Chain A
Amino acid sequence: MGVTCVSQMPVAEGKSVQQTVELLTRKLEMLGAEKQGTFCVDCETYHTAASTLGSQGQTGKLMYVMHNSEYPLSCFALFENGPCLIADTNFDVLMVKLKGFFQSAKASKIETRGTRYQYCDFLVKVGTVTMGPSARGISVEVEYGPCVVASDCWSLLLEFLQSFLGSHTPGAPAVFGNRHDAVYGPADTMVQYMELFNKIRKQQQVPVAGIR
């Protein structure tokens, strides 16, 4: 588990999501990366049931349950600004039992699927973010395997991102800002994905127009 940076690649002008993804993958292959299969990251949203809310009308918290094919036997559960739980896959079954407390917002399942590339110590995943049948955006994840401390290798990651993303290189993710010298873990990756998905969810209308 190395330091990972998740960012969004905006769709190129006049092109569809599919074509942009193809562009990116071609760039990577020219760079010398080798394809190593596919990946998938998905996210389901749950909100606290009305019955458990106090009479004062506290706003219900949103809980995200995510899966990552990179960690096939794990399931991640996180709150917006709160803790992230890493659990066994039996957690999904547990959520069914907790129906009384957490209700799933059904229309909000969002996922990203794509190919996985290995370039020496870097692991690059380019995926299409879909919500239901429609593609909403492109997610790019880059992982630098050898390093586990974010502050040490951020500059290297940035340079690598620049080499194939060009001008669309993102800034330092928020998770890095909090704990610069702490060991990076899979939970941080999932937090980044959650933020990305939330951003994409809010941007609903734009990609739909772009596809046409």
Chain B
Amino acid sequence: MSGVRAVRISIESACEKQVHEVGLDGTETYLPPLSMSQNLARLAQRIDFSQGSGSEEEEAAGTEGDAQDWPGAGSSVDQDDEEGVVKFQPSLWPWDSVRNNLRSALTEMCVLYDVLSIVRDKKFMTLDPVSQDALPPKQNPQTLQLISKKKSLAGAAQILLKGAERLTKSVTENQENKLQRDFNSELLRLRQHWKLRKVGDKILGDLSYRSAGSLFPHHGTFEVIKNTDLDLDKKIPEDYCPLDVQIPSDLEGSAYIKVSIQKQAPDIGDLGTVNLFKRPLPKSKPGSPHWQTKLEAAQNVLLCKEIFAQLSREAVQIKSQIPHIVVKNQIISQPFPSLQLSISLCHSSNDKKSQKFATEKQCPEDHLYVLEHNLHLLIREFHKQTLSSIMMPHPASAPFGHKRMRLSGPQAFDKNEINSLQSSEGLLEKIIKQAKHIFLRSRAAATIDSLASRIEDPQIQAHWSNINDVYESSVKVLITSQGYEQICKSIQLQLNIGVEQIRVVHRDGRVITLSYQEQELQDFLLSQFVMDLKVAARLWFSFLVTNVKTFQKVMFYKITNGVIFVGHSKKFSGIKWKVEILFIKWSCLCLHLALVYYDFFQMFPKDVSKNFDLKCLQINYKHKEEITSKRVLFLKIIIRKCLFSTLKLFTL
């Protein structure tokens, strides 16, 4: 470097003057260079405020050209003015454009300011960000996809695995605890029939009739227990039930109420020894489970106990003419003298020991099923009464009691009507009345039947009415003779069999009341028989008597089945026949006499009329068809008997 001398470099700007004009002789006329202010103006004009810095030069070039075309703005103002008006006024004032630009910039700034202030208020305009596209990942897209797929697959696999696990668990549970499931379904079935409630961890049920209106103090609760003594390895028995029912010990076994009527007088020593017999359990419905039968039997036992308790309470409390005897499980009462009604509670437990004894006596001949059934009905009636809505008053301000009792005030019921509303009879009284009626009815039927079989002529017919009351039955009795039905239609009796007496209504309007004595009915019916015979005999003989006069025309007569055949016969003629006629006349008279005597006897007490033998009339009646000499013999018997009874009458 030292070797080289410093060279002086001079720099000068290439500010060559622009050629204005080239003369013909080659001389150049140069433009005067711009002065400082002109230069500044020129530069200011070149500023374009609407564009960025890049476009300034272009615009500036454009305007520079124009500005240089007219250099020396001050000198050629006029020419500029004119030309500026034609095109635009660039050189009027070189700062004009600057001013305009600045003004426009100001305007725009003001607008912007206004907009911003409005936007800041957020009342009329808000700024909303423009959603921008996510930046494209800068990583490699393929690996990302792979990773994401792997993750989602793992999640799906998790869910599937969880489900599969649960299924396998339930299947194993099913197999293992199959019995557990059945207990619940059995419990559901049990609940459909019986009331259950949960106390602590025990399930208790109620088999009493308390919810149905019973007032019996027995609790009647049974317990439901799970049957867990099952070996899973062994085969499950078919009638296996996962549920078992434990009933209270005093309701085990089966019970029924035995009602029987015996004719012998009660022997004090025999009391209390009721021949129990184990009635075979009523067959349960084939589909019902064993707990149902067990519970039903226990409920029946409870009901029988209630019935018996009610009956024995009434037997002790209610005063009657003949006191009732209550011994152990038997109630004995006497509805009629020499008749004994015994009601007993027969409760046989299910032990094997007692079954042996029970099989000894199997014949319940004297057990009246009807009365037992009626007892059940009566107690249920009593239950319903305690619960019935009749007791609940409407309107709520009315007094308690039976609905009709409430009406008895406003409707002015008298004492009879009020008494009829209040049923004051207890269970025992009702059942005794029913028993009396049943006994009376069966005995009346037996009497009629025995008479019918004993006496062939006349015939007795009995038409029993189908519709009867518990306390009243009726039968229509017809007494007719063979061949004389039309005439003997008048003997028709209607017997109304009540509780203690029989009322007879005759066709001719008479009403006779007979007591419960068997003999009275028999005597009465026999008297009706005689009446019938009398009518028939009278008729027959009256016919004969009237025809005796015309007997000459009648040669012989034959009576077959009540029809008299009249015809001629050579047999009867002459004196013999006249004697016969005389005998007939005499026999008629005697018979008339006999009948008169019989009527006479009817006025006397019955024991006298019994002496008059019924059979004499019967015999005469029976053999009316035989026209033999026997007739004479029989007539003699009649006469003898008439005379005998007449004598007896006078000796009294």
List residues of chain A with CB under 8 Å of any chain B CB: 1, 70-76, 86-90, 185-187
Known: A72-B418, A88-B406, A185-B412. 10 other contacts (CB 8 A): A70-B414, A71-B412, A73-B405, A73-B408, A73-B409, A74-B409, A88-B409, A89-B409, A90-B409, A186-B412
Tell me the chain B residues, 409-454 only, with Cβ under 8 Å from chain A.
409-415, 418
What would 29 A/B residue contacts be, using CB atoms closer than 8 Å?
A1-B412, A1-B414, A70-B414, A70-B415, A71-B413, A71-B414, A72-B418, A73-B405, A73-B408, A73-B409, A73-B413, A73-B418, A74-B408, A74-B413, A75-B409, A76-B412, A86-B409, A86-B410, A86-B411, A86-B412, A87-B409, A87-B410, A88-B406, A88-B409, A88-B410, A89-B409, A90-B409, A185-B412, A186-B412
Bound CA–CA A203/B165 (angstroms): 111
Inside 8 A of B408's CB, which chain A residues have their CB? 73-74
Inside 8 A of A86's CB, which chain B residues have their CB? 409-412
Candidate in B399, B405, B406, B415 with the most chain A CB atoms within 10 angstroms: B415
Inside 8 A of A70's CB, which chain B residues have their CB? 414-415
Top 3 nearest A-B pairs (CB, nearest first) are A88-B409, A186-B412, A71-B412
Bound CA–CA A81/B413 (angstroms): 24
Bound CA–CA A87/B409 (angstroms): 6
Inside 8 A of A74's CB, which chain B residues have their CB? 408-413
List residues of chain B with CB under 8 Å of any chain A CB: 399, 405-406, 408-415, 418
Bound CA–CA A1/B418 (angstroms): 13
Bound CA–CA A162/B196 (angstroms): 75
Inside 8 A of A71's CB, which chain B residues have their CB? 412-414
Inside 8 A of B399's CB, which chain A residues have their CB? 88, 90
In the assembled complex, how far is the CB of residue A184 from the closest CB belonging to chain B, in whole angstroms? 12
Bound CA–CA A186/B406 (angstroms): 18
Inside 8 A of B409's CB, which chain A residues have their CB? 73-75, 86-90
Inside 8 A of B410's CB, which chain A residues have their CB? 74, 86-88
In the assembled complex, how far is the CB of residue A85 from the closest CB belonging to chain B, in whole angstroms? 9
Inside 8 A of A72's CB, which chain B residues have their CB? 415, 418
Bound CA–CA A186/B412 (angstroms): 7
In the assembled complex, how far is the CB of residue B624 from the closest CB belonging to chain A, in whole angstroms? 50
Bound CA–CA A70/B412 (angstroms): 9
Inside 8 A of A185's CB, which chain B residues have their CB? 412
Inside 8 A of A88's CB, which chain B residues have their CB? 399, 406, 409-410
Inside 8 A of B406's CB, which chain A residues have their CB? 88
Inside 8 A of A73's CB, which chain B residues have their CB? 405, 408-409, 413, 418
Inside 8 A of B414's CB, which chain A residues have their CB? 1, 70-71
Bound CA–CA A86/B415 (angstroms): 16
Bound CA–CA A66/B405 (angstroms): 20
Inside 8 A of A87's CB, which chain B residues have their CB? 409-410
Bound CA–CA A89/B399 (angstroms): 11
Bound CA–CA A37/B405 (angstroms): 23
In the assembled complex, how far is the CB of residue A13 from the closest CB belonging to chain B, in whole angstroms? 37
Q: What is the chain B residue whose CB lies nearest that of A190?
A: B412
Q: What is the chain B residue whose CB lies nearest that of A189?
A: B412
Bound CA–CA A74/B410 (angstroms): 6
In the assembled complex, how far is the CB of residue B394 from the closest CB belonging to chain A, in whole angstroms? 14
Bound CA–CA A204/B81 (angstroms): 151
In the assembled complex, how far is the CB of residue A87 from the closest CB belonging to chain B, in whole angstroms? 6
In the assembled complex, how far is the CB of residue A4 from the closest CB belonging to chain B, in whole angstroms? 12
Bound CA–CA A88/B412 (angstroms): 9
Inside 8 A of B415's CB, which chain A residues have their CB? 70, 72
Bound CA–CA A86/B407 (angstroms): 11
Bound CA–CA A75/B399 (angstroms): 15
Bound CA–CA A90/B406 (angstroms): 11
Q: What is the chain A residue whose CB lies nearest that of B406?
A: A88
In the assembled complex, how far is the CB of residue A49 from the closest CB belonging to chain B, in whole angstroms? 25
Q: What is the chain B residue whose CB lies nearest that of A187?
A: B412
Inside 8 A of B413's CB, which chain A residues have their CB? 71, 73-74
Bound CA–CA A88/B415 (angstroms): 15
In the assembled complex, how far is the CB of residue A89 from the closest CB belonging to chain B, in whole angstroms? 6
Bound CA–CA A88/B401 (angstroms): 13
Candidate in A76, A88, A90 with the most chain B CB atoms within 10 angstroms: A88
Candidate in A72, A87, A187 with the most chain B CB atoms within 10 angstroms: A72
Inside 8 A of A76's CB, which chain B residues have their CB? 412
Inside 8 A of A187's CB, which chain B residues have their CB? 412
Candidate in A1, A71, A185, A186 with the most chain B CB atoms within 10 angstroms: A71
In the assembled complex, how far is the CB of residue B95 from the closest CB belonging to chain A, in whole angstroms? 113
Bound CA–CA A186/B413 (angstroms): 9
Q: What is the chain A residue whose CB lies nearest that of B408?
A: A73
In the assembled complex, how far is the CB of residue B395 from the closest CB belonging to chain A, in whole angstroms? 12
Bound CA–CA A74/B418 (angstroms): 12
Bound CA–CA A138/B408 (angstroms): 29
Bound CA–CA A76/B405 (angstroms): 17
In the assembled complex, how far is the CB of residue B409 from the closest CB belonging to chain A, in whole angstroms? 3
Bound CA–CA A76/B411 (angstroms): 11
Bound CA–CA A86/B399 (angstroms): 17
Bound CA–CA A89/B409 (angstroms): 7
Bound CA–CA A89/B412 (angstroms): 11
Bound CA–CA A81/B399 (angstroms): 31
Q: What is the chain A residue whose CB lies nearest that of B397?
A: A90
Bound CA–CA A186/B409 (angstroms): 12
Bound CA–CA A85/B511 (angstroms): 44
In the assembled complex, how far is the CB of residue A122 from the closest CB belonging to chain B, in whole angstroms? 15
Bound CA–CA A187/B411 (angstroms): 10
Q: What is the chain B residue whose CB lies nearest that of A1?
A: B414
Inside 8 A of A90's CB, which chain B residues have their CB? 399, 409
Inside 8 A of A1's CB, which chain B residues have their CB? 412, 414
Bound CA–CA A187/B412 (angstroms): 9
Bound CA–CA A71/B408 (angstroms): 9
Candidate in A72, A73, A87, A186 with the most chain B CB atoms within 10 angstroms: A73
Candidate in A74, A89, A90, A185 with the most chain B CB atoms within 10 angstroms: A74
Candidate in B411, B414, B415, B418 with the most chain A CB atoms within 10 angstroms: B414
In the assembled complex, how far is the CB of residue A95 from the closest CB belonging to chain B, in whole angstroms? 15
In the assembled complex, how far is the CB of residue A171 from the closest CB belonging to chain B, in whole angstroms? 26
Bound CA–CA A187/B406 (angstroms): 19
Bound CA–CA A88/B411 (angstroms): 9
In the assembled complex, how far is the CB of residue B433 from the closest CB belonging to chain A, in whole angstroms? 26
In the assembled complex, how far is the CB of residue B567 from the closest CB belonging to chain A, in whole angstroms? 63
Q: What is the chain B residue whose CB lies nearest that of A88?
A: B409
Bound CA–CA A86/B411 (angstroms): 7
Bound CA–CA A40/B418 (angstroms): 18
Bound CA–CA A159/B399 (angstroms): 44
Candidate in B409, B410, B413 with the most chain A CB atoms within 10 angstroms: B409
Bound CA–CA A112/B412 (angstroms): 19
Q: What is the chain B residue whose CB lies nearest that of A85?
A: B410
In the assembled complex, how far is the CB of residue B544 from the closest CB belonging to chain A, in whole angstroms? 50
Inside 8 A of B411's CB, which chain A residues have their CB? 74, 86
Q: What is the chain A residue whose CB lies nearest that of B411?
A: A86
Inside 8 A of A89's CB, which chain B residues have their CB? 409
In the assembled complex, how far is the CB of residue B266 from the closest CB belonging to chain A, in whole angstroms? 38
In the assembled complex, how far is the CB of residue A2 from the closest CB belonging to chain B, in whole angstroms? 10
Q: What is the chain A residue whose CB lies nearest that of B398?
A: A88
Bound CA–CA A86/B412 (angstroms): 7
In the assembled complex, how far is the CB of residue B419 from the closest CB belonging to chain A, in whole angstroms? 11
In the assembled complex, how far is the CB of residue B205 from the closest CB belonging to chain A, in whole angstroms? 45
Bound CA–CA A164/B408 (angstroms): 34
Bound CA–CA A71/B413 (angstroms): 6
Inside 8 A of A186's CB, which chain B residues have their CB? 412
Inside 8 A of B405's CB, which chain A residues have their CB? 73
In the assembled complex, how far is the CB of residue A114 from the closest CB belonging to chain B, in whole angstroms? 17
In the assembled complex, how far is the CB of residue A91 from the closest CB belonging to chain B, in whole angstroms? 8
In the assembled complex, how far is the CB of residue B396 from the closest CB belonging to chain A, in whole angstroms? 14
In the assembled complex, how far is the CB of residue B570 from the closest CB belonging to chain A, in whole angstroms? 71
In the assembled complex, how far is the CB of residue B625 from the closest CB belonging to chain A, in whole angstroms? 54
